[in-house]
Amino acid sequence: MAESGGERVEIRSASKIYGSVQALDGVSLDIAPQEFVSLLGPSGSGKTTLLGILGGFIQPSGGLILFGGRDVTFTPPHKRDIGIVFQNYALFPHMSVGDNVAFPLRARRLPKSTYAKRVRSALAMVDLAGYEERGIAQLSGGQRQRVALARAMIFEPRLILMDEPLSALDKQLRESMQIELRQLHKRLGATIIYVTHDQREALTMSDRVAILKDGKLVQIDAPTRLHDHPNNAFVASFIGEAALLPVERVDAERVSLAGTVLATSRKMPPAGDLLLAIQTEKLLVADSTDAPGRNRFSARVTDIVFQGESLRVFLALDGGATLSLRQPSHYEAARRIPPIGERIQVSLHPQDTIIVPKGD
């Protein structure tokens, strides 16, 4: 399949109102050609509405959508030339795999003689070579997923939208498909907009992740930046497994957590109430060999949950606030966790001491 090149997508203050519900509230986004952007948010955040607007199934109440500089806000879906992979694949049950994949070619009235070759190469691309004659009902969930992908790619769209395409697969398959999708994206060179509510999936695959809440865009950034520089408490709590603890401002570089002063090398919000966002994997069991300058404090172990490769240790501070840390489950690390009810010394690097504003 030839390089199709990516489409530049511009969303200019898109809004959608259903009756009295503001499903989407002035969202603006610029997506570069060949970028992989995830729309991440809880249900009701407006991510599916935004995808519907991009696909042309939903007309926005306000705002503009531009593909490559062209205004497509009211262009019907079949004239947008975008590949869409739906949540439950939306394969046509009465057609064979080959006919499903050839649908975009038929719809565009391309010369019939080219079908077989293009279908073959599209199926090869998703590792389903030779599946042309199979019925949809004979396929497993993962195979259906691949057919849907092949069908969305065969006409070499410059933009592909994906609506939680992996949510119906089991965990292992999902994780291997995530890696495959990433590689496919590099080969195709198309722009991909990917809707998901799974933050891990979004972080794994995307160049940038846009976080939506209540129809508004909260933050759009590269995964690592999102993780390390959350704009507010919502992003901090949505990404990773963060505990949010109220802290008092001491000065420009220090806060006080239930009486313990913690240093931070992160920029602090200029004013207002503060929260400390602690990701479970950044909180360590304190050790005599710790680098100097780490913040230390003590807590009580309230529960230890074995989760296979790691232990999640639930802690309570003296003030009653709760947080948790993750410890690898191998013997050396696990034996450093005292039994439930005992006290534990933990430490947090100033770089990982992330302070966010309390309000929205």
Partner 1 sequence: MSAIDPSDRYRRREQGLMLLLASPAVIVIVALVVLPVGWLMGQSFYDNGFTLENYRRIFSEDIYWRSFMLTFRIALMVTLLTLILGYPVAYAAAHVRRPWDVLILSFVILPFWTSVLVRAYAWLVLLQRTGVANQVLERFGLIGEPLALVHNELGTVIATVHILLPFMVLPLYSTMQKIPRELMLAGASLGGGPLHSFLRIFLPLSLPGVIAGLTLVFVLTLGFYITPELLGGGRTIMISMVVSRNVELYNQWGAASAVGVVLLVCVLAIFIAVGRIIPLDKMLGQK
Q: Which spans of this chain sit near partner 1 (rule: CB under 8 A)?
A: 55-57, 76-78, 80-84, 86, 88, 90, 92-94, 103-104, 106-108, 135-138, 151-152, 155, 161
> Which CB atom, from 152 or from 313, has the smaller least distance to partner 1?
152
Residue 269 half-sphere exposure, CB side, CA atoms within 13 Å? 21
Residue 334 CB, nearest distance to partner 1 (Å)?
44
> Which CB atom, from 33 or from 55, has the smaller least distance to partner 1?
55
CA distance 242 to 277: 6
- Our separate counts of H helices and E strands in the chain read 9, 20
Q: Are strands 159-163 and 82-85 parallel, antiparallel or unpaired?
A: parallel
Residue 104 CB, nearest distance to partner 1 (Å)?
4
**Dihedral over alpha carbons 296, 301, 302, 308 (to 10 degrees):** 100
Residue 70 CB, nearest distance to partner 1 (Å)?
17
Residue 89 CB, nearest distance to partner 1 (Å)?
8
How many Å from the N-terminal Cα to the C-terminal Cα in the chain?
46
Residue 106 CB, nearest distance to partner 1 (Å)?
7
Q: Which of left, alpha, beta for 122 (phi over 0: left; psi -120 to 50: alpha)? A: alpha
CA distance 223 to 229: 10
> Which CB atom, from 27 or from 161, has the smaller least distance to partner 1?
161
**Could you tell me how many residues make up the chain?**
360
> Which CB atom, from 132 or from 214, has the smaller least distance to partner 1?
132
Residue 18 CB, nearest distance to partner 1 (Å)?
12
Beta bridge partners of 315: 301, 323
Report the candidate in 175, 96, 95 with the shortest Cα–Cα distance to residue 134. Answer: 96
Report the candidate in 208, 195, 202 with the shortest Cα–Cα distance to residue 238. Answer: 202
CB 296 within 8 A of CB 346: yes
Residue 152 CB, nearest distance to partner 1 (Å)?
7
> Which CB atom, from 85 or from 233, has the smaller least distance to partner 1?
85
> Which CB atom, from 118 or from 227, has the smaller least distance to partner 1?
118
Residue 94 CB, nearest distance to partner 1 (Å)?
5
Residue 92 CB, nearest distance to partner 1 (Å)?
6
C-alpha angle with apex 197: 27 to 84, nearest 5 degrees? 70
Token pair 């950044």 in the structure block, residue: 282
DSSP state of 150: H
- The per-residue DSSP string of 53-91 comes to HHHTSS--SEEEEEETTEE-TT--GGGS-EEEE-TT---
> Which CB atom, from 89 or from 297, has the smaller least distance to partner 1?
89
Q: Which two three-digit tokens encode residue 11?
A: 């969303």
Q: Is 51 helix (H, G, I), strand (E, B) or coil?
A: helix
> Which CB atom, from 135 or from 359, has the smaller least distance to partner 1?
135
> Which CB atom, from 122 or from 317, has the smaller least distance to partner 1?
122
